[in-house]
Structure 1
Amino acid sequence: MSKNSVFLLFFYAWCDVVLGVVLPGSSPGSIVLHNNGREKIYENVIGNKDGFGRSLISVNGASALHVSSRYDYYYTLVVEEGGVLVDCAYFDVRNSYNGVRASGGVCGLSKPLNSDYDEIAQVYSNEWRSSIFSFDTREVIESGEGRDFLLGRIGEVEIFDRYVSADALENALPQKIIRSRSGCFNFREAVGFPVLLDKNESGFLYLDVLRSEEPMLLQRMGEQDLKDIAVEKCP
């Protein structure tokens, strides 16, 4: 099976999980769930709030929410028992402590959608900035030479952020690198979101790779998917 076929299977599998249709509501800031002939209105979930812009988008063809200010936060939605739940929360931010880009996600949240949903990814991003993305970047700044920083593992596959130069660090533009026993792979300019499951302390389970921004398409890659491509010679 080709890699494109694998991606399409994942794409349609993700879409099939979502039941019902979520559309903008008639009142400002609202969205409406249309499900089995019924409607459920959620107030104050889109539009501006406290300096954040919030909009209804799609991720892999399914309804999702995008919250933007200086940084970007994304929330995928699922419908269960006639209501909308937040399934995954992604963040793409910058760490003020060391200047690095911090991108990641937490799935399996199953949190009922309400007007405060936009705080979910912000909480996780703050936690990750003080832990996973808290590595020391002084060597890159002082020497100007690039370096790989280990973020964690998906099974036997290691995930790194590579800053090729001080300029890349200054502009928060890492390259996502994976390394297995067979070799390496560089995703280069593609944004990768390492993903944890909520309350799972065993480490990352997936790398969700951003393949398109409009519409937003994420390619979910597990350990075996990453092993299949991590066969290039490591530098």
Structure 2
Amino acid sequence: MIVKLLVRGMLVGLIAGLLAAAFAYTVGEPRIDQAIALEEAAAAASPAGSHSHEAAEPAEHSHDDGEELVSRNGQRFGLFLALALYGLAVGGLFALAYAAVRGRVGPASEPALAITLAAAAFTAIVLVPFVKYPANPPAVGDPETIDQRTVLYLVAVAIGILAVAAGTATYRYVSQSEPWLRWLAAGAAVLVPVAAAWILLPKINEVPKGFPADLLWDFRIASIGTQAVFWLGVGALFAFAARKRSPV
């Protein structure tokens, strides 16, 4: 039954989300702390830093003792909560997509199909946008361009999804050809729109001068690593469940 498959997907997504949160907490949070320290140091060194801090103080604090509205510990808890909820939602959608393509597209083996679908989702939703618009830590990015950056990122996600769909359709269309020709045609169908987007979409580089390159690199690796852990968890856990379950 589809309900059973949906529940299984949500449970898998929840576990994968918690695994990704543990990775982000261990690898990503120290980089965020370093970036916040740089941001605070730059604000303090700014000529208007003292005045800006005084003006912003009522909005940034919830008590008279200077305690921040959301502490770093609260933000870390929010990281686990957000990724758990994200996992629930994405796991459910993954289960629906799995049910839609099972027996129609991809490997005949259900565990292999789960891993292939997770890899395709990671490529379309994470990897393609990341190549053009990688994640940035605090202190990087102009607040006035956030709307533009959000729209461009969503466009990149849409292009990634369409590119993977085009590759899948091409693979099916040339299914009677030699295996190497099918994979070559499917790869070209994915890479051509991605390359066109790379060339045509505007470049955004708002990294301030003097920002440590190693910190930027480490943060971006932690960011895509978190998503890789999530999708690896979804694919592997769903494949394990599919291996043992009876037909739905």
TM-score w.r.t. length of structure 2: 0.30
More helix by share: 2
Mark the structure with the bigger radius of gyration.
2
TM-score, normalised with respect to structure 1: 0.31
Q: Which has the larger share of strand?
A: 1
Larger RCO (CA within 8 A; separation ≥ 6): 2
